[in-house]
Structures are given as structure tokens and as C-alpha cells.
Chains A and B, each alone.
Chain A
Amino acid sequence: MAADKAGFVQLHSSGFGVNIFVCLKMVKDADGKPVMDASGSYALEEALRQKDCLGARVTAFCLGPVEAGPVLIRALAMGADEARHIAFNGQVQPSGLVLARALACAVRMEPEKAGAFDLILCGAASEDNGSGRTGPMLAGLLDLSLAGCVVELSHYPQKGVVLVTREVESGRRLVLELDLPALLTIQTTTRQPRYPSLSNLLRANRATVPAIAFDSLPEVGPTETLLSEEAPCAVSRVEMLSGSTAEKAALLFKMLGDRGFL
């Protein structure tokens, strides 16, 4: 299902261009540096493919602390047209409904014409929390049609629909047609997120990303509380082999031999 290769801007029925919003998240890499969460980068890549094919305008949103700036810069460097930083100052990163409500507010703050979006794309589940709730909750708050774990999409803004393929258990695929505007969560696929181009990188480094203060948004109490998050006590059946590399190799070889595998 290849997307239309228009080569010119297709006008949305509102007369304005095709608008796609992407929700991104900041996580920390192994060295503690802020980076774009991988699942969101696949959503952004899909949005940028829509920009390549349909001339869509892509706006990236990210709720995160001040240090999340590089995530938005990276989004611009990959080719997003605009970025919005919902700047959060507190200790515990908002999640679940609190996060979804803040994103919904930010989306609604977009100027009227630019705010008429066709698609909102999110990652299916982030690397850190991985609860997968944000996209569906945002769809519920904004009353959008919703499909998660999408591996392929074909966008027909003039017909007011998007065709998606969802990959479900055992690799079965469901092909669905959704009315626009729609929210899709994007699964990781073989279409790897692109590297920034030099020209976009230069443009991004000069850009000013508008910030919205999280504290200025209407407050909503969290519906869940994270009590603790620690490495689990290892209660497992595993027998860990010990010794040097060569010793462990010899031991494993013997153990597998004893069990009849070799």
C-alpha cells in the first residue's frame, strides 16, 4: 500500500494544507544524555514520509523538562516544520491522563487554521515507561478515531480517510479504514527513522522552539501514583555459570552435551 506520490501540496478539505502532529518523549541514553525516545522517532519518521509524499506540515510536541530541548531540535533537524515544548519543572514526569490532558491542551492552543490537523502520530510504547496509554488517551480526549501498533499507513486527506495496517499477535495484520482526523500509534518497523540532513540541522540549531509552561495548563490530579520503581528482586530459576570466558564455554558445552544436545 504505497502512499500517493503527489509531488505537490494536496489541499485538505478545509482549504489549508495537510497537517500532522507528532507526540515525542525525552528519555535518557546510557550516558544520561537527553535523547528522543525510539518509539516516537518511528512516529516522526512516518509523519516525515507524509511530508515527502503529500507536502504535509509536521509539528512535533514534547512534554518534558527544560533539558528536553534537544529532542525538539532533533525533530526539526529530521525535517519537522515546527516544534512545541511543554516545559515541565517538577520531579515526576507526568504520565497517563495528566500527560494526555496536557498534550490535548497544547494541541488546542494551535492557531485555528494550523490547528485543523488530519493525523496525530505517537509511538506505540515508550522505552522507559512503555505503558502505551498516551496515544489512546489523547484520542479519547480529542474524540479522534484511533488505531494502535500501525505498521503501514496510506493517507487520503481529500477523501477524509486513512488506511492503516495494524500488526497484532502472531504477526496477523488487520487492515482498517479510519475517518479523519485520526490518531495512530506507530510500531517499530524496518523503515528506520532518518538521520538529520545538514541543511535541516543548521536550520534547527537556529530555531526558537515555543515553550508552553505545564504549570499554566489546567491542573488535573493524577489517577495513579508511582510508589517505587526499582530493579526487581531476582527470584528466578536461573543457574548462572561462573569462571573465565573459556571456563564458562567449556562448562556450558559439557552441560549441553550431558543433556544430549551435542
Chain B
Amino acid sequence: MKEAKNAEFLIVAGPGAKGLDDSAKDAAGLALALGAKPENALLLVLGEDPEKAAEMAAARFGLPVLALAGEGLHPAIGDAFAAALASTVLRVKPRFILLAHTISNMDVAPLLATKLKAACVTGVTGLEDGESGPIFLRPTASGKLLARISVNASCAVVTALPGGFPVPEKPSFPPGEIFREQAVTPGSRMRLLEELAPASADMGLSAADVVVAAGRGIGCTENLELIERLAALFPRSAVAGSRPVCDAGWLPANRQVGVTGATVTPKLYIACGISGVFQHVAGMIGSNLIVAINKDPGAPIFSVAHLGVVEDLTAFIPAFLEEAEKAGA
């Protein structure tokens, strides 16, 4: 039986709700941007039943795929997942191990890097060419700064944020060969007891044409009234919030937009006092028209918005409401 051979790039993916987890394209995109090709890359799909995901990956990315099946292989069971990865790494000897920056991989990537004594760079959004290798770009200071990081080790574990490295719709290579192996699953000191669906997402959010979202910039619950009055100007609208606003109890959790909340794609998204960290942006980047109101001109939200207003929302929203009143809206 043919065995998966050495590869400079090892891409890690897993099964998801519809076969291959959607986040696989983030890891694959980063690998392709670094120079991955069928000759030097291997895409590893691990799980209890990785077959369908492996077939989808081979077709979607045109790279060789190793489907590694094993009982108890779930990215949330970080120790077993990292151990299964580590044993593949020892055989394949990659220079780069690429994963999507999912919440589970936030555990797995650094854990794996520690076991391998490899470098670890997380949440990468861009790349540059450097003298001795690639330079990884990642946002810091809640997205206000961009750090440039080089690696000083023979192996680096890198996680990619969504959207940084798009994969062409039509793969550049024909469907990859699929290798299949059984993982020797090590024991784990963790047990997954239950998976709970999210507390019911507010139906109003996903059906709304217009979402008006409040961030920490609203300052206090009293200013929520401004958000509500602004939303009331538009038909089929809903009020949403960033995580800090929901953590503070100013809005209920089912109004949260972001990675751990709802993903919305309304026709209009008005972000009020929202700084624009990636965790929030991930939940609204698909909106048709994004308007951002923030008193900080350096807020990262302005790099995703279509229309930007540098104003304190407590002054701007009343001015906007006054315009609406004048127009008889």
C-alpha cells in the first residue's frame, strides 16, 4: 500500500457538518500562499470518520490527502488530536504545519508546537517574503496594529484567520490522491460528554434586512436607546451587540454577532462604537453594506466598512435621528 510521503507543508483539516469543515480552506489557502503544491504538500484529515471530508478536500484543493481515522479523534479532545498529529509529523517531517484558527485549534496548535519544539504563530492574516523565510503578519492590540513575525526553528505550526488567504474557486491542480490510515489513538485525559446547540439564536437577527449593532462604545445601557431608535427607522431591522456588550449584560447573549455568536448577512449593517476585532468582524463581514460609526479613527472596523463616520455615537446618532425627523421618516 502506498504510504503518504514526506512533505514540506502539512495542512490539517477535519470533518464538519457538511463533510469537510469549512475552515479547511483557511489552512489550505495559507499553505498555497506559502508555496504548497501536490509535490510538496499533504493535507491531513483526521477524525472518527474522515472519508467524505477527505474526498471533498482532495477535489477542492488538488493536493494529496491522508485520511487518518481513529476513535476519539475530535479537535476538542486536544491531547489525543495533537498526539495523532505529532506522530504523522514525525513521519512526514514538514517545515510548516498549517491549521485554521478555530477555537479548538487555539489549543491544538500551541500544544503540538510545544511537543515538537516547533515555532508557533497564531491568527495569521498575511504573508511577506523575508530573507530567511516567510514573514507572518498577524493583528495585535485588538486589530489596531499589525505584527510581522519571522520564525527561528526548523518547523513552524501556523494558524490562519479566515479571509486572509483565499483559495481559488477552481483548484489549480487536479484532484489529489487519497491515502488512508488508521491512527493509533493514544489515551486521552479528556472525555467529550455532550455537544450543546447554541441558545436559540435570535430569529430576528438572521431575518433582518438591517442590523444595528452596539459595541463597547455605547458606554452604558442608557445609550442602548439610541441604538434602538436608530434601528426603528428601518423596516425589518434588528439590534445586535458585540461580545463585550453581551458579557456586560447590556444585551442578551442571543443578540451577539461574532465567532461565538451569530453570523449575519443583512443588506445593511451599522456598527456603532464597535472597534472591529476579528472575532466580531467574522460574524458580519458578509453584510452587503457596512457603515461604521466610531470616535477612534484607528479602529480596525474602518478597514472592513464601506462607509465610515469618525464621531462619538452619542452625538452622531441623535444628529442622524434629527435628520430622519426632518424628513418625516
Contact = CB atoms under 8 A, between A and B. Distances in A.
Contact of A229 (B148, B150, B189): B148
Contacts of B306: 237-239
Nearest to A165: B196
A108 interface: no
B107 A147 contact: yes
Contact of B150 (A148, A172, A227, A262): A227
Q: Chain B binding site: helix, strand, loop or mixed by DSSP?
A: mixed
A252 interface: yes
Contacts of A231: 144-146, 298
A143 to B, nearest CB: 9
Interface string A143-164: 0011111000000000000010
A34 to B, nearest CB: 16
A253 B320 contact: yes
A174 B308 contact: no
Interface in B278-306: 289, 291-292, 298, 302-306
A223 B152 contact: yes
Interface in B163-216: 189-199, 201, 210
Interface in B53-90: 76-79
A253 B307 CA distance: 12
Nearest to A144: B189
A245 B315 contact: yes
B255 to A, nearest CB: 11
Contact of A226 (B149, B192, B262): B149
A150 B90 CA distance: 31
Nearest to B302: A238
Interface residues of A, number: 80
B153 A223 contact: yes
Given A136-B107, A168-B260, A229-B145, A236 B303 contact: yes
A105 B227 CA distance: 50
Given A149-B103, A225-B151, 7 more contacts: A147-B190, A165-B196, A179-B189, A228-B147, A230-B145, A240-B302, A249-B323
Interface of B: 76-79, 102-104, 106-111, 113-115, 117-123, 130, 135, 138-142, 144-153, 156, 189-199, 201, 210, 233-234, 243-244, 246-249, 253, 256, 259-263, 267-268, 289, 291-292, 298, 302-311, 315-316, 319-320, 322-324, 327, 329
Interface of A: 96-97, 100, 124-125, 127-137, 139-141, 145-149, 163, 165-179, 182, 185, 187-190, 192, 221-232, 234-241, 245-246, 248-250, 252-253, 255-257, 259, 261-262
